[in-house]
Structure 1
Amino acid sequence: MAGGWARDGAVQDQIDGTVEDGIEEVRKRLSAHTGPSLEFCEECDAEIPAARREAVPGVRLCIECQSAQDKRQTRHSAYNRRGSKDSQLR
């Protein structure tokens, strides 16, 4: 039940768009991790433990660098589509 100038279902369309964007972002990250796991982190050159290399195929970062990268991506994914003027024009 949308109000004002929005058509019915507009809010659900925005929610669906946000979910689709999130899924696409995860797919991009997964496809980037193909091939053999690295023995040393590509950012800090720390050794990646064998257990991590076996558990996460194609791993390229140590736990610390991966955690930092995840935090950066979390900030980006917290984008509120409903509050964006651009989303209203979409």
Structure 2
Amino acid sequence: MATGWAGDGAVQDQIDATVKDAIQRARSRLGSGPGREDCEECGEPIPEGRRKAVPGVRLCLACQSARDAEEAAASGYNRRGSKDSQLR
């Protein structure tokens, strides 16, 4: 039951928007086309299994893991998806 200025479906709308944003972000990071045989950053060969599993792969597993860690650290805090922001 919503009270105040929020509509009846406001919380669900917020959840849906958060999920939609996450899906769009994930899709934008997906590669396409032929992948590289050597890593774009370190030049090490990319194993054939990784090239088959990840279309358009451009980084070896070690470089991709490092990039993912950097992006996670820089992403900040998603207040919109926080339970605390819904309780205030």
TM over 0.5: yes
Partner Cα distance (1:78, 1:48) in 2: 33
Partner Cα distance (1:55, 1:26) in 2: 16
Map 1:1-90; keep pairs closer than 5 Å: 1-30=1-30, 33-75=31-73, 76=75, 79-82=78-81
Identical-residue share of aligned pairs (%): 57
List runs of 5+ in structure 1 lacking aligned partners: 84-90
List runs of 5+ in structure 2 lacking aligned partners: 83-88
Partner Cα distance (2:33, 2:80) in 1: 35
**Where has structure 1 moved over 6 Å in runs of 4 or more?**
none
Q: Deviations over 1:28-68 (max 9, x none)?
A: 112xx112110111122221112211222211110011112
Partner Cα distance (1:63, 1:15) in 2: 32
Letter in 1 for 2:4: G
Partner Cα distance (1:46, 1:77) in 2: 31
Partner Cα distance (2:76, 2:23) in 1: 11
Q: Which residue of 2 aligns with 1:88?
A: none
Instruction: Give the structure-1-normalised TM-score.
Output: 0.72
Instruction: Give the structure-2-normalised TM-score.
Output: 0.74
Q: Which residue of 2 aligns with 1:86?
A: none
Q: Identify if the C-alpha distance between structure 1 residues 78 and 61 changes in structure 2 by more than 3 Å, giving closer, same or farther.
A: farther
Aligned residues: 81
